[in-house]
Amino acid sequence: MTSRPIVTVQAAKEGEKSGASLALPSVFRAPIRPDILNFVHDQMRKNTRQPYAVHVKAGHQVSAESWGTGRAVARIPRVRGGGTSRSGQGAFGNMCRGGRMFAPTKTWRKWHRRINVQQRRFAVASAIAATGVTSLVMARGHRIEKISEVPLVVSDSVQDLKKTKEAVAFLKRVKAWPDIQKVYASQRFRAGRGKMRNRARIQKRGPLVIYAKDNGLCRAFRNIPGVTLICVSRLNLLKLAPGGHLGRFVIWSESAFRQLDQIYAKSKLPDNKMASTDLTGILRSDEVKAAVRPRQARQARAVLKKNPLKNVNVMAKLNPYALVLKRKAILAQRKALAKKRKADAPASSQKQQQKKQPAAKKAKQAAVKGKAVKK
């Protein structure tokens, strides 16, 4: 068996010695299954719902009857009597003003959901496991860049904190304060009708503090925005994975961390489908390599055919001597051109030659003397 990694307990208060080592509980190796977690989370969230429904009699507190055919009006039931503008108006239908809605909502709608125990446990185990993976916690949005270790375990003196000031000092000590600052920065008003319905203010979630025994801890932390507190014996998926998203930032007290092994005895933990999820590693492992044929040298890809008569490089590949021939041809052409030019302008060139002679003499003399000559 591979040895379990060790988690160091951080000091909660100043002057405390940190450094006690705990083995990582096996829950942290539970399979991380966002699909199960999401499903269970959805179902669980429905369990705090309060029923809403339209009044039973809504739309029906009228005695209305259809006028039938032959009166040049639609056959919808109409309000009886006279003397008021309401008389003769359509009633009862969902399309009528003041009528009953389509499919009036009933209180006996199924509001709550039952979830299988195994599924619930699986989801919580997954959520806890995800809590121990740094990248997942960061991807969820928690600011944990300065924290000393993930999972963050803290000595039991956290549980004894009584004052909010002490709680704040603790969070700063443990470098969890940036997450709270993130919460402060996210405080804003909800968009939409929720404002009118007592749900005006919203903010992000901060750290989750899990304790074994509350000696004042809850009161110390409860006024700090974003912080949630739960007891180990009552782990709540809705707090561990808010929104159905894995990887909440959790701060464990030492005794709470120790209790995890008892709560999640190995027999209770769900099985992994894959012993190793490291796909890249598996593909490179010795066993796979032994079964796989050697890599083929890069196969030549189809090359676009180019016309050697137009393309010099391709011609040269086929017939290297073609370059020699070409060069000869070019040189011969140049020579012929030069000859032609001389032949074309005989008179002026003679004059130029006469002029050039004294200039040439001068040039020679100057060269002997070492002076620069203008050409």
Partner 1 sequence: KSRPLSSPGERISKASEIQVMASADLQWELIKRNSCFLVKRGRKAFSTEAGNLKCRNSFNSNGLIHRRTVGIEAPTAGKSGVVLVLRNQRQANRPARSHSRVPLQRQGPRGVLGSIKKILRQRRYRRDLELAALRRASAIMRGQRKIGGK
Q: What does the binding site for partner 1 look like in residue numbers (CB under 8 A)?
A: 1-2, 4-5, 24, 29, 32, 34, 129-130, 132-136, 138-141, 144-150, 175, 245-246, 272, 275-282, 284-288
Minimum gap (Å) between residue 7 Cβ and partner 1? 8
Of the pair 72, 275, the CB lying nearest partner 1 is at: 275
CB 249 within 8 A of CB 43: no
282-298: burial string, b at 16+ Cβ within 10 Å, e else: eeeeeeeeeeeeeeeee
Q: Which of 115, 153, 158 is nearest to 131 (CA)?
A: 153
CB of 134 to partner 1, least distance (A): 6
- CB 288 → partner 1: shortest distance, Å? 7
Tokens representing 334 are: 């140049």
Distance CA 189, CA 137 (A): 26
Among residues 187 and 285, whose Cβ is nearest to partner 1? 285
| Selection from 237, 235, 242 nearest residue 256 by Cα | 235
Decide whether 131 or 159 has the Cβ nearer to partner 1: 131
Closer residue to partner 1 in complex, CB, 282/366: 282
Closest distance to partner 1 from the beta carbon of 143 (Å) = 10
Distance, in Å, from the CA atom of 368 to the CA atom of 355, rounded to the nearest integer, reads: 21
DSSP 90: B
Smallest separation, CB 212 to partner 1 (Å): 23
Q: What share of the chain is helix, strand, coil (3-state, %, to 5)?
A: 45, 10, 45
In this complex, which beta carbon is closest to partner 1, that of residue 37 or of residue 220? 37
Residue 112, Cβ neighbours under 10 Å: how many? 10
Nearest CB to partner 1, comparing residues 279 and 304 = 279
> For 303, what's the count of Cα atoms within 13 Å in the CB-facing half-sphere?
6
**CA 122 to chain centroid:** 23
Nearer to partner 1, 29 or 86 (CB): 29
CB of 375 to partner 1, least distance (A): 39
**DSSP structure string for 135-172:** HHHHHHT---TT-S-SSEEE-GGGGG---HHHHHHHHH
Beta pairing partners, 79: 64
CB of 358 to partner 1, least distance (A): 52
**What minimum distance in Å lies between the beta carbon of 3 and partner 1?**
9
Q: Which C-beta is closer to partner 1: that of 1 or that of 300?
A: 1
How far is it, in rounded angstroms, from Cα 112 to Cα 114? 7
**Tell me, what amino acid is at 89?**
Q
